[in-house]
Structure 1
Amino acid sequence: MGEVISYVDRISELPDFILHQILSYLSTKEAAQTSLISKRWRYVCETFPILDCDEWFFGRELDILNPKELGMPKDERRKIFNRRVKFMSYVDEKLCRFHEENLCVKKFLLHITLVSNDLATRVDTWMELIAGLRVQELDLYLTVGRERLYDLPMKLLATESLAVLTLRGCLLLSSRLDKSAIRLCSLVELYLRDVSIDQDTIQDLIFSIRSMEVLSLKNCLGFENLEISDHDKLKKMVYHPHKDLKVKKFSIKVPTLEELDFCSVDKDKTACEIIVSSVCQNLKRLSLCGIPIDAKWLQKMISSFPLLEHLFLGGCVLQKVMKLSSRVLKVIQVSNCTKLVKAEFDTPNVHIFEYRGKTMPRLYSNSVADYRTAELSVRLGNMDSIWFMRLNNFLRDNKFQDLSLSMTATSGKEISFNSEDYKEIQLLPFELNNMKLVTHTLTSVNYAALLDGLFWNLRPRILSLELNYYSPEFLKGILKSLVAEEEPDCYCSRNFECWRHLLKDIKLINVGSLKSGTVLDILTLNNLTTFLDNWAIEARRTVKSYGALKGETLSFQLSW
């Protein structure tokens, strides 16, 4: 008789806390599916200490405040109502079970649209329960109609177990706040977004929470000044004022501060109203967005912080010429800064340089960085022979090893490349480790001209193409041009060889289920086209269901 083999489910025998740790690496949907394995897993899932109560899991339509006003039929409105009832019953059952069994909650996330005052009362009951469950992380995302906000129960501010608190769509007023009742002694991170909070309350919170290391205020109303000092733990400050809020003064004097992110849409504000004291000697990252900046003020600020390694300027109104010098900076990002025409950087230790502007910037070539990555943005209509030459010189002069090129469409203009402009130029080919192409265009592109312009003197070892579900035609066009059956116009001459004759082969690195090392040819191209079509369909479904999509790339190894 054959030997009988018995299988033992050793995973299910593991303690609850280990199985809970395993579930924490899964999405909410995947974690819920494990309850179907067995009774043991059903219990593990029901006692999983991360409660993700998001109404979107029961239907994206639940965030509609008034379906009747939108003209929805009665049966559709009834379905939405039933789903909302089902969602609230789900939250009730979860919290009651944890309360009855005296279980701890590691994280509680609640996303709900309050379509009536009765629902606000229901949320009050949930908050009463959650405050007694020793919750460590609380994330409230509340939407209320008619520009109303949810009046947060003050008991939550006395929850000593809280380490992370995120509030969105809430109301916090000093008239209802007893400063002595704030007992968030374990709180490390505080995130407020779309919150109405007055001057006294925000200052009381900052002063009372001495353990706080991260403070983020985004799109909040109710105060005009924000001054932070006398705090010995704060490391990261994020402040994005409401578009209707005229902030008079922002001042921070905290020795422990390592990261500051200030973003405003108030074009009248001057940078000098932002006071970052030289007391902040530990500042390592500075991000400024949407404000006018004087170049001298910026240079003075950068020179004040001996540890500043990362600088981001986004949508700032700069002068036409900017000169910046620092031997400490390692990452520079300049994006969509109006009026800026000429930019010079004396930053020898920079290894990541991202620039989105009208012209190619200038970096002094005395680089000492071991590895340098350039991320540039360009409009397709601006890519001509002169631009490709400037790109080549920029990468070569500054010893960049990686290039990420983001391209956007320009109506009525096309990429142009003329090999005649280069035939008298004698340059050794410049090798790159990786060239990544990103596009946000839905229009057709002259793919042959794009590749000719990039490869006439650049020799990337790896070519990466970012996948996007709304424009797979761009990727198909690039791939088809790479393996063109009929060779496009060849521009070889006695002293000048085109890249097509120098490229030996192209091999796949990581493309879906296709085997790595496969040579890219006509047959492989057909399989890739099918892969891209299927990927785009699945990606659209993912975005529709979850609202987000993880970035992916196609990568190829190029042998020259």
Structure 2
Amino acid sequence: MNPDCEETVSGQLNTVDRFSDLPDFLVHHIISFLDTREAYRTCILSKRWAHISATNPIISCWPSDEVSARLLGYIDSRMQRYAKDNLRIRTLILRFPASNKVFGCDVEDIELSRKLEELSCKVDEWICIAVRNQVARLVLHGPINYQLPDILLSAKSLRQLNCYKVEIPYYNGAINLASLQTLELLRVDVEERMLNHIISACLLLKCLSVESCYGFKTIVIPCCSQLKELTLSNTLPKDGTIVLETSSLACFKFSDSTSDRWPVMSKPGLLRNLRTLDLSSSGITDGDLGKLLPELASLETLHLVNCRRLTMIRISSVQLKKIYLVNCHGLLYVTIDAPSLTKFKYKGDFDPDCIITISSQASCLLSVHTIPYCLDTPGFFKLKQLMTGLRSCNALKIWLSDDYDESGPDDIKFDEEELGDVNLGPPRDIRELKLSLYDQNLSRSSVSAFLNGLFWTCRPDIISFQFFFHEPDLMIQLFMSELEDMANCWGHPLKRIESLDANCSNTLKSKKVDLQLRLHW
């Protein structure tokens, strides 16, 4: 018998409404995945659901294109009820559209300034209610020229604050954000003394993100801070400075595409607990990186993106597990001695003039994202060199894409005789070779050279293809044909090729096709 049904005396079955028996807090959690309008519509289900909708501690106002009087009236009436009944507000999300439309007014409308001022006053009132009712999370994408009210700086219960396109005016009083753990500022106007005042006052702050903000020149993370994650993106002027005085940082992400200098200052030993370093800086030099890396005794993940002034990287680390080099086009020498390395990713022109040497005792995944014509004979030779320093390579991933280089031919050429007397031994045995191709209409000769160079480099048990094409079936047939023609060209020819995707024939019409082949040597 269905456990949700009960049998009556007459033998008929009555359905039991288990959902209505759920406690309020659980139903609140369920409808928290709905937006404000959808959550409000649940009130028609029953009297209890009307109560649930009215007492939901999660309030979300997110108009898609225009701020209407009807929507603001509903939010206001709901906030007034929370204030009257002293109901807990756990989350308040106010996201106003980026356009200048308020109550149907365009930016040229003479009524716009007045209505924006009225809206700002109403948002101030809602924030005051939320603070008094112990709000824990506030997400605010403010209306135009909106300034945060001072009362928000005394929200003792606030744990997470996300601000977008607002202004934080200077406040010389005491800041009492005793519970704040996450602070996100995006395109925010804030004075330097105010920003540093907030950082130093929030002793429990664990995660700080400042992106595309302005109004300050120096950011100081004091020694008393317990900050674990720091993200700074395109937010400093050319002469700006970041002063790190704390030793608690575990993750530091820095992005700056305009500065011609390395702006980070830190005393020796303070970065000993850093585990993840993500740098996208046009200003960092070989000397800067050479001084920084020895300080990172606990570093496990290193991202270097668009660091075009770097020409040489030397890394020796027992803890390092993942390295990503992306579009660092000035590199000439890369030497990595990392016994625990499990993943190495390289994106950019696969320039054979750049010498990359990797030494690792762990099983490592190599990932190379390049444009087709860089995989010529020297390119495959460089790829094979990369694999020689690895004790074990469980997978090799090759991405072919023109997404960052629109010039140049797409032909792939490989001729082993060009290498002369150079011999790196037989192809490397690996578990899987992963190939991803993005809108590459390669010729038959390029496909043949591509596969020939890869089989000269490695001997996989599995080949996995990912085709991102409008019509991938022709390219798949070309690759399959070349695989069959090449099967007898090697000392251990392919005995059988199996498609592990039973629905492959049905997916050929899609824009993305995953195809996996088992190779039997």
State the Cα deviation string for residues 146-167 of structure 1 (Å, max 9, x = none).
xxx3111111111111000111
Q: Count matched residues.
A: 483
| Matched letter for residue 310 of structure 1 | T
User: What secondary structure is seen at the aligned counterpart in 1 of 2:514?
Assistant: strand
**Structure 2 matches for 1:513-528, cutoff 5 A?**
518=502, 524-528=503-507
From 403, 407, 411, the counterpart of 2:396: 403
TM-score of the two chains, using structure 1 as the length reference: 0.76
Judging changes above 3 Å, is the alpha-carbon distance between structure 1 residues 463 and 121 closer, same or farther for their aligned structure 2 residues?
A: same
Per the TM alignment, residue 263 of structure 1 is displaced from its structure 2 partner at its CA by: 1.6
Q: What does residue 249 of structure 1 align with?
A: 241
Task: Tell me if structure 2 keeps the 8 A contact 1:302–1:326.
Answer: no
Distance 1:163 1:197 in 2: 20
| Matched letter for residue 179 of structure 2 | S
| Matched letter for residue 485 of structure 2 | C
Judging changes above 3 Å, is the alpha-carbon distance between structure 1 residues 132 and 403 closer, same or farther for their aligned structure 2 residues?
A: farther
Judging changes above 3 Å, is the alpha-carbon distance between structure 1 residues 97 and 209 closer, same or farther for their aligned structure 2 residues?
A: same
Task: Tell me if structure 1 keeps the 8 A contact 2:210–2:231.
Answer: yes
**Structure 2 matches for 1:354-393, cutoff 5 A?**
354-358=345-349, 359=351, 364=357, 366-369=359-362, 371-393=363-385
Distance 1:296 1:206 in 2: 30
**Structure 2 matches for 1:52-131, cutoff 5 A?**
52-56=60-64, 61-62=65-66, 84-113=68-97, 115=101, 116=112, 117=116, 118-131=118-131
User: What secondary structure is seen at the aligned counterpart in 2 of 1:216?
Assistant: strand
**Unaligned ranges ≥5, structure 1:** 63-82, 509-517, 519-523, 537-552
From 322, 345, 348, the counterpart of 2:339: 348
Task: Tell me if structure 2 keeps the 8 A contact 1:210–1:233.
Answer: yes
User: What secondary structure is seen at the aligned counterpart in 1 of 2:383?
Assistant: helix
| Matched letter for residue 166 of structure 1 | N
Distance 1:426 1:131 in 2: 68
State the Cα deviation string for residues 111-147 of structure 1 (Å, max 9, x = none).
1036442332332232223222311111111352xxx
Judging changes above 3 Å, is the alpha-carbon distance between structure 1 residues 460 and 194 closer, same or farther for their aligned structure 2 residues?
A: farther
User: What secondary structure is seen at the aligned counterpart in 2 of 1:372?
Assistant: strand
Of 338-347 and 352-361, more deviation after overlay is shown by 352-361
Judging changes above 3 Å, is the alpha-carbon distance between structure 1 residues 38 and 493 closer, same or farther for their aligned structure 2 residues?
A: same
State the Cα deviation string for residues 317-362 of structure 1 (Å, max 9, x = none).
3343332222221121121123213322122221121222333666
Task: Tell me if structure 1 keeps the 8 A contact 2:432–2:460.
Answer: no
Judging changes above 3 Å, is the alpha-carbon distance between structure 1 residues 316 and 346 closer, same or farther for their aligned structure 2 residues?
A: same
Residue 508 of structure 2 corresponds to residue 529 of structure 1: yes
| Matched letter for residue 285 of structure 1 | T
Q: What does residue 109 of structure 2 align with?
A: none
Q: What does residue 513 of structure 1 align with?
A: none
State the Cα deviation string for residues 447-473 of structure 1 (Å, max 9, x = none).
74455554564425362637xxxx532
Task: Tell me if structure 1 keeps the 8 A contact 2:207–2:227.
Answer: yes
User: What secondary structure is seen at the aligned counterpart in 1 of 2:94?
Assistant: strand
| Matched letter for residue 111 of structure 1 | R
Distance 2:487 2:141 in 1: 61
Task: Tell me if structure 1 keeps the 8 A contact 2:308–2:327.
Answer: no
Q: What does residue 273 of structure 2 align with?
A: 282
Distance 1:387 1:30 in 2: 57
Q: What does residue 465 of structure 1 align with?
A: 466
Residue 216 of structure 2 corresponds to residue 223 of structure 1: yes
Per the TM alignment, residue 416 of structure 1 is displaced from its structure 2 partner at its CA by: 1.9
Judging changes above 3 Å, is the alpha-carbon distance between structure 1 residues 18 and 93 closer, same or farther for their aligned structure 2 residues?
A: same
Distance 2:43 2:469 in 1: 37
Judging changes above 3 Å, is the alpha-carbon distance between structure 1 residues 352 and 119 closer, same or farther for their aligned structure 2 residues?
A: same
Per the TM alignment, residue 209 of structure 1 is displaced from its structure 2 partner at its CA by: 1.1
User: What secondary structure is seen at the aligned counterpart in 1 of 2:87?
Assistant: coil
Q: What does residue 42 of structure 2 align with?
A: 35
Of 286-295 and 158-167, more deviation after overlay is shown by 286-295
Judging changes above 3 Å, is the alpha-carbon distance between structure 1 residues 433 and 108 closer, same or farther for their aligned structure 2 residues?
A: farther
Residue 511 of structure 2 corresponds to residue 554 of structure 1: no
Per the TM alignment, residue 304 of structure 1 is displaced from its structure 2 partner at its CA by: 1.5
Distance 1:289 1:389 in 2: 29
User: What secondary structure is seen at the aligned counterpart in 2 of 1:479?
Assistant: helix
Judging changes above 3 Å, is the alpha-carbon distance between structure 1 residues 20 and 503 closer, same or farther for their aligned structure 2 residues?
A: farther
From 303, 311, 317, the counterpart of 1:312: 303
User: What secondary structure is seen at the aligned counterpart in 2 of 1:260?
Assistant: strand
Task: Tell me if structure 1 keeps the 8 A contact 2:36–2:59.
Answer: no
User: What secondary structure is seen at the aligned counterpart in 1 of 2:508?
Assistant: helix
Judging changes above 3 Å, is the alpha-carbon distance between structure 1 residues 36 and 159 closer, same or farther for their aligned structure 2 residues?
A: closer
User: What secondary structure is seen at the aligned counterpart in 2 of 1:150?
Assistant: coil
| Matched letter for residue 149 of structure 2 | P
Task: Tell me if structure 1 keeps the 8 A contact 2:344–2:367.
Answer: yes
Q: Percent identity?
A: 22
State the Cα deviation string for residues 38-67 of structure 1 (Å, max 9, x = none).
3245644554333232122xxxx43xxxxx
Judging changes above 3 Å, is the alpha-carbon distance between structure 1 residues 465 and 45 closer, same or farther for their aligned structure 2 residues?
A: farther
**Structure 2 matches for 1:456-495, cutoff 5 A?**
457-461=458-462, 463=464, 465=466, 472-473=469-470, 475-483=472-480, 490-491=485-486, 495=490
Q: What does residue 105 of structure 2 align with?
A: none
Q: What does residue 515 of structure 1 align with?
A: none
Judging changes above 3 Å, is the alpha-carbon distance between structure 1 residues 328 and 48 closer, same or farther for their aligned structure 2 residues?
A: same
The structure with more radius of gyration: 2
| Matched letter for residue 49 of structure 1 | P
Judging changes above 3 Å, is the alpha-carbon distance between structure 1 residues 555 and 179 closer, same or farther for their aligned structure 2 residues?
A: farther
User: What secondary structure is seen at the aligned counterpart in 2 of 1:223?
Assistant: coil
Per the TM alignment, residue 250 of structure 1 is displaced from its structure 2 partner at its CA by: 1.5
Distance 1:352 1:462 in 2: 19
User: What secondary structure is seen at the aligned counterpart in 1 of 2:230?
Assistant: strand
**Structure 2 matches for 1:145-160, cutoff 5 A?**
149-160=145-156
Per the TM alignment, residue 555 of structure 1 is displaced from its structure 2 partner at its CA by: 5.8
Per the TM alignment, residue 185 of structure 1 is displaced from its structure 2 partner at its CA by: 0.5
**Unaligned ranges ≥5, structure 2:** 1-8, 102-111
Distance 2:179 2:356 in 1: 46
| Matched letter for residue 506 of structure 1 | S
Per the TM alignment, residue 252 of structure 1 is displaced from its structure 2 partner at its CA by: 0.4
State the Cα deviation string for residues 469-502 of structure 1 (Å, max 9, x = none).
xx53275455344555xx688245565566xx44
Q: What does residue 199 of structure 2 align with?
A: 206
Judging changes above 3 Å, is the alpha-carbon distance between structure 1 residues 432 and 201 closer, same or farther for their aligned structure 2 residues?
A: same
C-alpha root-mean-square deviation of aligned residues, in Å? 3.5
Distance 1:97 1:323 in 2: 62
Per the TM alignment, residue 196 of structure 1 is displaced from its structure 2 partner at its CA by: 1.0
Distance 1:423 1:525 in 2: 39
Q: What does residue 69 of structure 1 align with?
A: none
Judging changes above 3 Å, is the alpha-carbon distance between structure 1 residues 205 and 415 closer, same or farther for their aligned structure 2 residues?
A: same
| Matched letter for residue 514 of structure 2 | L
**Structure 2 matches for 1:320-331, cutoff 5 A?**
320-331=311-322
Judging changes above 3 Å, is the alpha-carbon distance between structure 1 residues 46 and 340 closer, same or farther for their aligned structure 2 residues?
A: farther
Q: What does residue 170 of structure 1 align with?
A: 166
Distance 2:497 2:412 in 1: 25
State the Cα deviation string for residues 200-239 of structure 1 (Å, max 9, x = none).
1012111211111112111111111122223241112222
Judging changes above 3 Å, is the alpha-carbon distance between structure 1 residues 5 and 119 closer, same or farther for their aligned structure 2 residues?
A: same
Distance 2:51 2:323 in 1: 50
